[in-house]
Structure 1
Amino acid sequence: MDRPDLPLNALRVFEVAMRQGSFTKAATELRVTQAAVSHQIARLEDLLGASLFLRTSQGLIPTDEGRLLFPVLEHGFDAMARVLDRLGGRRDVEVLAVGVNTTFALGWLMPRLDAFREAHPEIDLRISTNNNRVEILREGLDMAIRFGMGGWTGHDAIPLLEAPLSPLCAPEMAARLQHPADLGQMTLLRSYRSAEWPGWFAAAGTPCPPVSGPVFDSSVALAELAAAGAGVALLPVAMFERYIRQGRLAQPFGATVSAGRYYLAWPSDRASTRAMNIFARWLSGAAPAPG
């Protein structure tokens, strides 16, 4: 099979631009100007006779040709880096970038990371946190741990664990709550998932009162506000056991409702690396089996 005569530098610039999702960020990583990145991409598009990006007011959008080319180049450059590291006498360390829902990171993952690093010193695990809104490819990640119902378009995912929701509040407030209906007299702190409180009241067998408390996109922020006495938050109890042990939060009622589970996800068209496979197996073994 004939090998294409394409400039390696232009291919590398394209790979970084795809991973970063912007010419500006690619220029920063490559330590060149944005104009140089744009020039190399234009040169590669001319040689290929195909557009690799659509330039829009919302940023770069990869074309079908760009999406087809990227995973091949990414895998190739990763393989070359591993071989060059060995030839240079350095340890064969593989970088793995994982985006993690902040609640899961603080409530489950971080206390277990030392065990992973001790078991797999050959993997340089780099964690970045988010509030469940993450674009793996655009943010230069390999994988992401996110909460929901699964079925994300263009992604493969494995279920990790469920985290049923229940009301949590400051212990002093919990002492005044005798029945779920008493919550109607309290400020109910809300996440951006509007169906959660109605779902919990249905599970508790009590009509849902009007819910008009402030809305937040972070369970950690909700927990901090609830611990400070600002209201009652509907939270994944398993992720805030530390708050309960410390006496900062209390669970006044046993009823719970499921709004999804935590998943490990990655782009379907991305070839799995050894580090990705190891991390996925470790997570699956460390997390309780999904029910």
Structure 2
Amino acid sequence: MSLARYSLNHLHAFAVASRHLNMTRAANELCVTQAAVSHQIKALEAQLGKPLFLRTARGLQLSDDGERIAPAVQKAFAQLDAALSLLDEGTPPQRFTLAVVGTYLHGHLLERLQDFQLRHPGIDLRIQTHNNKLDLATETVDAAIRFGDGAWRRVEAVPLQAAPVTVLCAPELGLKSLQDLRRCTLLRSYRSDEWVAWAQAAGCPPLNPRGPQFDASVLMVQAAMAGAGVALAPAVMFRRELASGRLVQPFAVEIDAGRYWLTRSLGRDPSPAFDMLKDWLVGTLAERPPALDSDRMN
């Protein structure tokens, strides 16, 4: 099939709608009506002779054919945007320093950074990691992604990803029942009450965590995979390790210990880069996560 046969407007509508899986958000990004987006996609489907979307009880989903072409079409338009921005040589890159809690960087942000740079080549993004304890009023950063309840003083907090914590460990431990936890080293985070809350939710007698304490969940889970003990951490941030079998979640019980937030100090006006980053981050939550190697084989 020749590309010349297809309207760029139709392909652009598909690229945006397949990224959001929501016609309203796609229409807002394209600055057109929802009906116009639907019309453009139906015209493309008519040319292809194949449906690209399925409307289900769970909402809008890509068809098998839509899944096959969406990544390439999205990447093509992101590359076009990046190429055209190079012509605007009069605008220097806007430096933006983002502090990120290590677990979110590991589990969500790293695999999506290329997409952000393709979409916003005019932003010189600088990333620092932190252990969730920082003061935006005094730190030399423009914004921070951190974990908690969002109740920080003098801070704008934009909710990002929910991240309930659960038991994670190496498969070699062979945990089958709650009683098995009593023979294990229970690794600790700086949130000292999590094991107590998890035990209550699981309906088991109180547990006595005495393992090493970590200031970052990503390090605690790495220790768990190395056989140092059992961790309580957000499974959603370790989907690659769980998919590979290097890490297991032996019990279904999860507890809400907080979520991830994009935050900035209210003492400074938000920059255009902050608004772009915020919109992009919120947009990633509506998308399917990047495919894992195991996903591609199934």
Aligned to 1:235: 233
Aligned to 1:150: 150
CA distance in 2, matches of 1:157, 1:224: 29
Return the offset for 1:128.
0.6
Max Rg structure: 1
Q: 8 Å contact 2:195–2:207 — kept in the other structure?
A: no
Alignment of 1:1-291 (within 5 A): 90-173=90-173, 175=174, 177-288=175-286
CA distance in 1, matches of 2:179, 2:162: 26
**What is the CA deviation profile of residues 86-106 of structure 1, one whole-angstrom value per residue up to 9, with x for unaligned ones?**
xxx643321111100000001
Query: Which consecutive residues of structure 1, in runs of 5 or more, have no partner in the other structure?
Result: 1-88
Q: 8 Å contact 1:99–1:134 — kept in the other structure?
A: no
**SS of equivalent to 2:255:** coil
Return the offset for 1:170.
0.7
How large is the RMSD of aligned CA atoms in angstroms? 1.7
Return the offset for 1:288.
4.7
- With structure 1 as the length reference, what TM-score do the two structures score? 0.66
Aligned to 1:39: none
Q: 8 Å contact 2:170–2:225 — kept in the other structure?
A: yes
Q: 8 Å contact 1:161–1:288 — kept in the other structure?
A: no
Q: 8 Å contact 1:102–1:129 — kept in the other structure?
A: yes
Query: Which consecutive residues of structure 2, in runs of 5 or more, have no partner in the other structure?
Result: 1-88, 288-298
CA distance in 2, matches of 1:117, 1:104: 18
**SS of equivalent to 1:146:** strand
CA distance in 1, matches of 2:137, 2:123: 20
User: Is 131-140 or 141-150 further displaced after alignment?
Assistant: 131-140
Q: 8 Å contact 2:168–2:233 — kept in the other structure?
A: yes
Aligned to 1:41: none
CA distance in 1, matches of 2:166, 2:286: 19
| Amino acid across the alignment from 2:254 | T
CA distance in 1, matches of 2:92, 2:229: 50
**SS of equivalent to 1:95:** strand
**What is the CA deviation profile of residues 75-123 of structure 1, one whole-angstrom value per residue up to 9, with x for unaligned ones?**
xxxxxxxxxxxxxx64332111110000000110010011111011111
| Amino acid across the alignment from 1:95 | R
How many residues matched?
200
| Amino acid across the alignment from 2:194 | E
Q: 8 Å contact 2:117–2:123 — kept in the other structure?
A: yes
CA distance in 2, matches of 1:203, 1:288: 29
**SS of equivalent to 2:188:** strand
CA distance in 2, matches of 1:277, 1:209: 44
CA distance in 2, matches of 1:221, 1:269: 33
CA distance in 2, matches of 1:116, 1:136: 23
CA distance in 1, matches of 2:209, 2:129: 29
CA distance in 1, matches of 2:140, 2:209: 38
Superposition misfits of 4+ residues, deviation over 6 angstroms = none
- With structure 2 as the length reference, what TM-score do the two structures score? 0.64
CA distance in 2, matches of 1:146, 1:114: 21
CA distance in 2, matches of 1:285, 1:192: 30
**What is the CA deviation profile of residues 114-161 of structure 1, one whole-angstrom value per residue up to 9, with x for unaligned ones?**
111101111111111111112234331010000001110111111001
CA distance in 2, matches of 1:209, 1:163: 22
Q: 8 Å contact 1:97–1:126 — kept in the other structure?
A: yes
| Amino acid across the alignment from 2:145 | I
CA distance in 2, matches of 1:104, 1:116: 16
Return the offset for 1:199.
0.9
